[in-house]
Chains A and B, each alone.
Chain A
Amino acid sequence: MSELYNKLLEDVRFQEGLKACINCGTCTAICAAASFYNYDPRIIVDTVQSRDEAEIETLLKSDTIWYCGECMSCKTRCPRGNTPGLIIMALRALSQELGYFVESEKGRQQLAVKRTVGQWILDFGYCLYLEGVGTDLHPEQGPVWDWRQKFWKEHFERLGANYKGDGPGILRKIPEEALQEIRKIFDLTGATARFNKIEEYSKKKAEELDLEFGDGLDNEYFKHIYSHNNKTHTRG
């Protein structure tokens, strides 16, 4: 029995997501990621259910497990009740647990997500808190976004928000005691530990790649993982 497979089995999503795959490929046919990346969820599920230790380790260190967009279209279609998307979530959790995520270009991006979305949750209580996040990081947001950034407070007031205010409302200031509760939950349930692992393994990888590593978003390693694409990931 593969030790890695046993580790995967500890994740309730893996138990829910993998029954017995018949390799029909329906998940691949419907998969949004497979229509863009060199990606085939059927092969991933088959690799995992083979319980081959070396193959699973290779998967955990690969770009492959990071291509899924978790739209969960596979859940609807599988004729045997498997959910490749849930298997992917268990693989990604284990890849981070073991530090394997830094061995792939796409895996290394977890630091970027942790330092943006993760930090916004801890600081503000929202997954997104976008004042000051401009079209330098998000050029697709267009000139309307530039206008919104410039007149953020004015148009939020216009649209009935309670921006940074007390009490209920849109983008209200979430009370410090509520944020403290969220942070305690993070400490107790593994999120803080995962954040620390992402930082720790990323720092080691930055040293290995000889890239400057610092806090926040303004350092060589962050900029590299956020924007680098070796152009080998997509179909044709």
Chain B
Amino acid sequence: MKAEGKKAIWKEYQKEIADNRYFYVRSCVRQNFFPGSETAFLKIMREELSKNVYEHPCHTTCTGIGYHADIIPVDTTMTVVARQFALMTEAGYENLVPSCITSFGIYTEVLDTWHHFPDVEAKVREYLKKATGREFKIPKNLAHASDIFYKFRKDIAQKSKYKLIDKETGKPLKVVDHIGCHYAKMFPDKGIGGAEYPCVLTGMIEEWGGEVIDYPERRHCCGFGFRQYLVQANRGYSVACSHKKFESMEPYKPDLILTNCPGCPMFLDKWQYAIAELEGKTYGKDGYGIPVFTYEELAGLVLGYNPWDLGLQVHQVSCEPVLDKIGIEYDPKKKYADKNGNVPGIPEKPEVLKVYT
């Protein structure tokens, strides 16, 4: 399809994104695996973009992983979601911003269900009132945290210290995007660009100087599959999905993978390690992997933040090839340092996958 055709299609899938005053709900996966990303999100929102973002200390998981692994009944999930809405209402906010894509999908699904089944909404309101005494208003605006960075991608570009450009050749870095399945596959009109041409990440990539690379398995799942990863006996499913994607993207020699779901970067990072150790196969240059980034990490890098403040040291696939290609300054001796600058220990090296330490 010609580029004009694609643009015409995704223009049908624009969404309203609130301009300020966000109620932020954290991600269970991102907090455990990419804590630096949530720290970077709030720093960029508050200090670079001067936005009001509120986090309520009493908000909890939305139960999403349990819901999609089917241990949590739908009524329970809807009532926990209603409690988050109540906390937002009580705090005087109307714009809900989840860090997690599974949560974003769940909030979207719950609102859609209530739209079609008002009696279900009424039942959940009763459950919430009885269990907690709380009441709530429906959010005026629901946007994933990556939607917010998409909205302000030009502002971030204006403040940027680096661009996604090879400092030696002057050519743009080749970037593949991986959109979390529950961002737009369930409700295409709730994602920027819909399910076919989601541009939430490509908008950032292009604005920050990179080149978007298309490849056949671009929209295939990373392989979380909830119970398919959580239970050890099922993990073949998970690695097989990631493997399918790596094999498909490999010929295009991407410099990096950019993600918006908290789980996907973990799987695309860790399964590269596992495939290397199990099969001896690596997908990056010279025995390294393809670095995988969250959108918060990439935004932080272009803004000139210290890579180790962003948490790139918790990745198994080394990110240094990208840092070196762009010319981002970093101190390799501080990679594994604690907040006082001391290095209590460093990770062992994998047997096959090459890493920087």
Contact = CB atoms under 8 A, between A and B. Distances in A.
A binds B: yes
Contact of B26 (A68, A170, A194, A225): A170
A73 B32 contact: no
A113 B227 contact: yes
Interface string B204-244: 00000000000000011101111110111111110111001
Interface in A169-199: 169-172, 174-175, 177-179, 181-182, 184-191, 194-195, 198
Contacts, number: 268
Contacts of A195: 71
B5 interface: no
B70 A16 contact: no
Interface in A36-63: 36-37
B57 A168 contact: yes
A140 B73 contact: no
Interface residues of A, number: 94
A150 B39 contact: no
Interface in A11-37: 11-13, 15-16, 32-33, 35-37
A68 B194 CA distance: 23
Nearest to A131: B32
Contacts of B130: 188
B314 A141 contact: no
Contacts of A16: 113, 116
A155 interface: yes
Interface residues of chain B: helix, strand, loop or mixed (majority): helix
A202 interface: no
Contacts of A72: 105, 181-182, 185-186
Contacts of B80: 182, 185
Interface in A91-150: 92-93, 96, 105-106, 109-110, 112-114, 116-118, 121, 125-130, 137, 139-148, 150
Of the candidates B72, B78, B131, the one having the most CB atoms from chain A within 10 angstroms of its own CB is B72
Of the candidates B78, B225, B244, the one having the most CB atoms from chain A within 10 angstroms of its own CB is B225
B233 A37 contact: no
A71 B221 contact: yes
Contacts of A227: 232-233
A146 B231 contact: no
Interface string B67-88: 0111111111011100100000
A105 B68 CA distance: 19
B57 A167 contact: yes
B57 A175 contact: yes
Contact of B32 (A109, A130, A187): A130
A201 B58 CA distance: 34
Nearest to B43: A160
A33 B225 contact: yes
A206 interface: no
B251 interface: no
B20 interface: no
Contacts of B221: 32, 69, 71, 73
Contacts of B186: 72, 75-76, 83
Contacts of B79: 185, 188-189
B57 A171 contact: no
Contact of B58 (A68, A129, A178): A178
B65 interface: yes
21 contacts: A12-B113, A12-B120, A16-B116, A36-B241, A89-B74, A93-B70, A109-B233, A126-B32, A140-B274, A141-B270, A143-B348, A154-B338, A154-B339, A160-B36, A171-B31, A174-B60, A177-B58, A181-B132, A185-B128, A226-B231, A226-B233
Given A144-B315, A168-B57, 10 more contacts: A71-B225, A92-B70, A140-B274, A142-B270, A144-B316, A147-B347, A167-B57, A168-B55, A184-B131, A189-B75
